[in-house]
């Protein structure tokens, strides 16, 4: 398929980032933006991310070969119903929703066979929302799940794979049920747990706001995702409740059993509880799993002074070592603050460690 015109419905964090990524890598595309927020449309026009802006679907989708639905999950069924009579035969429609089985069933029922719907879910995002938070490199090195129906032509799937790949993302094809089960466990459940933890701690707050003053480091790290868009996560939770409810029940059983072991002073069992969690968690950075990129972390303890991060990255950059990600841990209970560098392979990790050690930087693997 010769793609010339793309419509993106919803210019929030994901839709805006998708538009920016496609504009950067495919400058000749005609990108049409649809959004009810005039400010989002205005901003996207001003920075030349989109060519045309519309508040409604009808004129926005005429002649588009690919349509991305980047709206809240609960809006997609109505949009699909409207598109069934608006778009040409052969059009590819895809979404970016966090649940897939329900929307795939709806698309099958409302769209004619000549219009191709392929479910999509980029495994990327931040706790921020809106077009103002969108960035062109959001999808780089992130898995982008696609759930095509079994009867869809291979060349249609390949067209979307190539388009997604152009954003820097890594397309991964799986079936909708598996997607909802796995993503429910590694994404949806953590959001529930983070919100529950924050609400539990908030119940203990006093008029002097003592907890707010003390809460930092580990607590803020583990609950960061509780700052995500509440309406969006309401819709995701309801959409994937068939998978989420059993996961929540399993979480409750784990916590309940831990409480009983504490009450009985079962020291060995409690130690095993933490040991098993640590063993699984410690594998995540270095194994290739379904939803996590394989990468290697290097910890660097540095002084808190201007320019220190630049010094570290310059040393590695001058030696052609690509840093896939960098984060700063400011406060941890068990070790001092440091930089955490994510590197693409073990060779880069070992080379970076040696280089930094030679420059009197305290670098180490864990």
pLDDT tens by residue, 261-270: 999 999 999 9
Domain-by-domain residue ranges, the chain? 5-174, 179-286, 296-364
Mean pLDDT of the 280-303 span: 65
Which class is 179-286 in CATH?
mainly alpha
Summarised one tens digit per residue, pLDDT across range 209-218 is 777 777 766 7
Nearest-Å Rg of the Cα atoms of the chain is: 23
Q: Distance between CA 364 and CA 142 in Å, rounded?
A: 26
Cα separations in angstroms, 221 against 31, 41, 174, 300: 37, 33, 30, 18
Query: Which residues are CB-contacts of 4 (< 8 A; sequence separation ≥ 6)?
Result: 28, 29, 30, 65
When mean pLDDT is compared across 27-36, 60-69, 231-240, the lowest value belongs to 231-240
Q: Distance between CA 244 and CA 253 in Å, rounded?
A: 14
Query: SS in 3 state form for 264-287?
Result: CCCHHHHHHHHHHHHHHHHHHHHC
Percent of the chain with pLDDT over 70: 92
User: With 70 as the cut, is the pLDDT of residue 289 above it?
Assistant: no
Q: Which two tokens stand for residue 44?
A: 């996207």
Q: Kindly report the CATH number that applies to the domain delimited by 296-364.
A: 3.30.2130.10
Summarised one tens digit per residue, pLDDT across range 332-362 is 334 445 788 988 888 999 999 999 999 888 8
Per-residue confidence (pLDDT) for residue 232, from 0 to 100: 82
Per-residue confidence (pLDDT) for residue 286, from 0 to 100: 43
**pLDDT grade for 288, boundaries at 50, 70 and 90:** very low
Summarised one tens digit per residue, pLDDT across range 241-278 is 999 999 999 999 999 999 999 999 999 999 999 999 99
Q: Is 30 helix (H, G, I), strand (E, B) or coil?
A: strand
Q: Which two tokens stand for residue 20?
A: 């920016």
**Higher-confidence residue: 47 or 299?**
47
Helices (H), 47-93: 57-60, 76-83
Average pLDDT over all residues of the chain: 88
* CATH superfamily assigned to domain 5-174: NAD(P)-binding Rossmann-like Domain (3.40.50.720)
Per-residue confidence (pLDDT) for residue 144, from 0 to 100: 93
Per-residue confidence (pLDDT) for residue 12, from 0 to 100: 93
When mean pLDDT is compared across 86-90, 149-153, 284-288, the lowest value belongs to 284-288
Summarised one tens digit per residue, pLDDT across range 129-166 is 789 889 888 888 788 999 999 999 999 999 999 999 99
Per-residue confidence (pLDDT) for residue 340, from 0 to 100: 86
Same fold, 5-174 and 179-286: no
Mean pLDDT of the 85-109 span: 93
Asked if residue 77 lies in contact with residue 48, where contact means CB atoms within 8 angstroms, the answer is no
The whole-model pTM stands at 0.70
* Cα three-residue angle 45-51-55, rounded to 5 degrees: 70
């Amino acid at each position: 398929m010769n793609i010339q015109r793309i419509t993106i419905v919803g210019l929030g964090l994901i839709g805006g980032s998708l538009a920016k990524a496609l504009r950067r890598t495919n400058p000749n595309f005609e990108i049409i933006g649809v959004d009810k927020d005039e400010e989002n449309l205005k901003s996207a026009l001003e920075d030349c991310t989109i060519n045309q802006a519309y508040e409604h679907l009808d004129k926005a989708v005429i002649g588009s070969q690919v349509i991305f639905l980047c709206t809240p999950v609960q809006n997609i069924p109505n949009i699909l119903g409207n598109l069934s009579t608006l778009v040409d035969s052969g059009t590819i429609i895809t979404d970016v929703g966090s649940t897939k089985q329900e929307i795939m069933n709806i698309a099958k029922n409302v769209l004619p066979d000549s219009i191709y719907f392929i479910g999509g879910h980029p495994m990327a995002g931040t706790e921020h929302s809106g077009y103002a938070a969108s960035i062109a490199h959001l999808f780089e090195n992130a898995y982008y799940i696609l759930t095509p129906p079994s009867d869809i032509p291979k060349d249609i799937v390949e067209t979307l794979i190539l388009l997604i790949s152009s954003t820097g993302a890594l397309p991964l094809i799986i079936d909708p049920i598996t997607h909802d089960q796995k993503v429910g466990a590694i994404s949806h459940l953590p959001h529930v747990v983070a919100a529950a933890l924050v609400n539990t701690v908030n119940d203990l707050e006093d008029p002097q706001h003592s907890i707010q003053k003390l809460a930092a480091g580990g607590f803020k790290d583990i609950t960061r995702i509780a700052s995500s868009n509440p309406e969006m996560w309401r819709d995701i939770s309801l959409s994937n409740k068939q998978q989420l409810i059993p996961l929540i029940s399993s979480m409750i059983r784990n916590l309940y059993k831990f409480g009983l072991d504490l009450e009985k002073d079962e020291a060995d069992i409690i130690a095993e509880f933490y040991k098993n969690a640590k063993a699984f968690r410690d594998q995540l950075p270095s194994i290739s799993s379904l939803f996590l990129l394989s990468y290697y972390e290097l910890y660097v303890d540095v002084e808190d002074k201007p320019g220190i991060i630049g010094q570290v990255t310059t040393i590695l950059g001058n030696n052609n070592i690509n840093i896939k990600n960098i984060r700063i841990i400011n406060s941890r209970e068990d070790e001092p603050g440091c930089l955490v560098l994510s590197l693409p392979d073990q060779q880069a990790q070992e080379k970076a460690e040696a280089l930094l050690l030679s420059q009197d930087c305290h670098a180490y693997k864990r």
